[in-house]
A and B are shown apart, each in its own frame.
Chain A
Amino acid sequence: MIDTLIATLVSGLVLGSLYALMASGLSVVWTTLGVFNFAHGALMMIGAFLAWTLVEPVGLPLPVGILCGALGAAALGIVIERLLVRPYYGNRNMLLITVMTTLAAMIIMEKGAQMIWGARLKQLPRLIDGEISIASATISAHEAVMILLAPLVLAAIWAFTVRTNIGRSLRAVGQNQDSAALIGINVPFAFALAFGLSAALAGLTGALLGSIRFITPAMGADPLTKAMIVVIFGGLGSLGATAGAAYLIGLIEAILVLWLGLYWTPFVLFLIMIVVLVFRPNGIFGGNQ
């Protein structure tokens, strides 16, 4: 009984780390631009494929592959912002239009990946081989790295947006674009930076996930859905709320899988989200604004 509980906790922690990395990127774009980026999952997938290409066929070391996966996704994110989001700034229906344009970007990237890399399943080697046992629960060392890395990445984003002027400028632009421009912030640059940073996080997550799941063109769909649940469930806007919600959702999911099985888990997860939003429309950690 205790063993099962620990195993569930650990598995919830792995899921929570994955969701925290994905959702924090989604949240950065939302707080800066007020846009939901539906291509976020596809950017994650691109990060995984790029890392795989550099590591397997090309033969570069895995950390280099992961880094390049993140950077490649960032570059693509900046292109998406420039071509599919920026033309609609100031449009009254920007939120709805960008839902469609980023969905289009997702489809283009998924089909493009299918054409470039084919349908054969791919997988990256692990950062560290071996396994770690905590009580009776066993996880791979690679998963342990993810568990340790996620809070570090979150702390880095937090420090960036609170301690540095360039990071603060993202928050400022999200809260008041005109005032931000009038104190000398380059607003279009801030938008591109937010998209690039967010896409880098997605690419990093994909490249890390590519070692424990199969890399396929559609691998981003499920993490994207979960990241959206996390961001909405936590309360839009705050990084702390997003991180808290990521681990909470990861844990709930792990418990549900143990208790109800994989089949019913998504259903119950959405049910919980709906119930929470009925009573707390601003999210479980969101303020009453």
Chain B
Amino acid sequence: MERLLEVTDLSAGYGAVTVLRGVDIHLDAGESIGLFGPNGHGKTTLLKTISGLIRPTAGAIRFSGNDITKARPSNIVNAGLIHSPQGNTLFGDMQVHETLELASIAKRAKGGSRKNLKSVFELFPRLEERRTQKARTLSGGERQMLSIGCALMCVPKLLMLDEPTLGLSPRLKKELAAAVGDIAKSGVPLVVVEQDVEFLMALTDRLYMIEHGEVVREIDKANAPDHEEVMKLYFGEVSH
């Protein structure tokens, strides 16, 4: 089976602080994966390293058969690997529609800009209502919608979502989760970072548990179909 994403023995960090130590994860064509584990253990750093914001100190990243370990973020986006970051504040002074249109600046997205804008507005009608509002004046949930909307404007071949429902009210969380479910159903493979294991289990085929910058466990849904079992693993692992 074709490997869409392959991360091999990846180490990275911030200056003298090493966060990731030899991480191996992969994603085959046609599947989605989830990353979970305690806060501050390297999940966000892993996504940032894959998308080129952080230079790895060792290891390799391959996407769609190409080595992207040292690629520039804009080139990674243009290859179709899109990262919607956590708690994204985007561009405070920029209007919603400007931001979305700008997100189609990559060569791969230019042609379909108008059509994609329409489908983003269909997925998030609230963004259309707020289209001339500046990003700074949006609520947390709306900002999250805008961030995911931007990622969709880039025409993802693989979409990485970092805690898309973090800090949202239960009602909004449901709304966002449904939208992410729609994206998955439309055939876009996902890499999702989430604390909510139930949400992850529903969305993805395999889970990686990340602790202290390492993959400590890989869980195939076929082997651990019950999210409660996963929760047991999770808390059993954390409490020692």
A interface, CB within 8 angstroms of B = 162, 165-166, 168-169, 171-172, 175-176, 178-189
Q: Which residues 171-190 in B have Cβ within 8 Å of A in the complex?
A: none
B123 near A: Cβ within 8 Å? no
Q: A169-B105, A178-B53 are in contact. Are A186 and B94 (CB under 8 A)?
A: no
Q: Measured between C-beta atoms, what is the minimum distance from A286 to chain B in Å?
A: 13
Question: Could you tell me if A183 and B53 are in contact, using CB atoms closer than 8 angstroms?
Answer: no
Partner of B74, one of A166, A179, A184: A184
Question: Could you tell me if A182 and B98 are in contact, using CB atoms closer than 8 angstroms?
Answer: no
Partner of B53, one of A168, A175, A182, A185: A182
Partner of B73, one of A165, A171, A182: A182
CA A184 to CA B153, docked complex, whole Å: 10
Question: Could you tell me if B88 and A184 are in contact, using CB atoms closer than 8 angstroms?
Answer: no
B interface, CB within 8 angstroms of A = 51-53, 72-74, 77-78, 82-85, 88-94, 98-99, 101-106, 109, 150-151, 153-154
Can you add 19 more A-B contacts, CB < 8 Å, to A175-B92, A184-B154, A187-B74? A165-B102, A165-B105, A168-B94, A168-B98, A168-B102, A171-B93, A171-B94, A175-B94, A176-B89, A176-B90, A178-B53, A181-B53, A181-B74, A182-B51, A182-B73, A183-B105, A183-B153, A184-B77, A184-B105
Q: Measured between C-beta atoms, what is the minimum distance from A55 to chain B in Å?
A: 39
Chain B positions within 8 Å of A187 at CB level: 73-74
Q: Measured between C-beta atoms, what is the minimum distance from B228 to chain A in Å?
A: 35
Which secondary structure characterizes the binding site on chain A?
A: helix
Partner of B102, one of A169, A178, A181, A188: A169
Q: A168-B98, A178-B53 are in contact. Are A183 and B103 (CB under 8 A)?
A: yes
Cβ-closest chain A residue relative to B92: A175
CA A172 to CA B83, docked complex, whole Å: 17
Q: Measured between C-beta atoms, what is the minimum distance from B89 to chain A in Å?
A: 7
Cβ-closest chain B residue relative to A238: B93
Question: Could you tell me if B101 and A184 are in contact, using CB atoms closer than 8 angstroms?
Answer: no
Chain B positions within 8 Å of A184 at CB level: 74, 77-78, 103, 105-106, 109, 154
Cβ-closest chain A residue relative to B104: A165
Q: Can you offer 14 A-B residue contacts whose CB atoms are under 8 A?
A: A168-B94, A172-B102, A175-B93, A179-B88, A179-B90, A179-B91, A181-B53, A182-B51, A182-B73, A183-B103, A184-B74, A184-B78, A184-B106, A189-B74
Question: Could you tell me if B94 and A172 are in contact, using CB atoms closer than 8 angstroms?
Answer: yes
CA A79 to CA B72, docked complex, whole Å: 21
Chain A positions within 8 Å of B102 at CB level: 165, 168-169, 172, 183, 185
Chain B positions within 8 Å of A179 at CB level: 85, 88-91
Partner of B154, one of A162, A183, A186: A183
Q: Measured between C-beta atoms, what is the minimum distance from B36 to chain A in Å?
A: 22
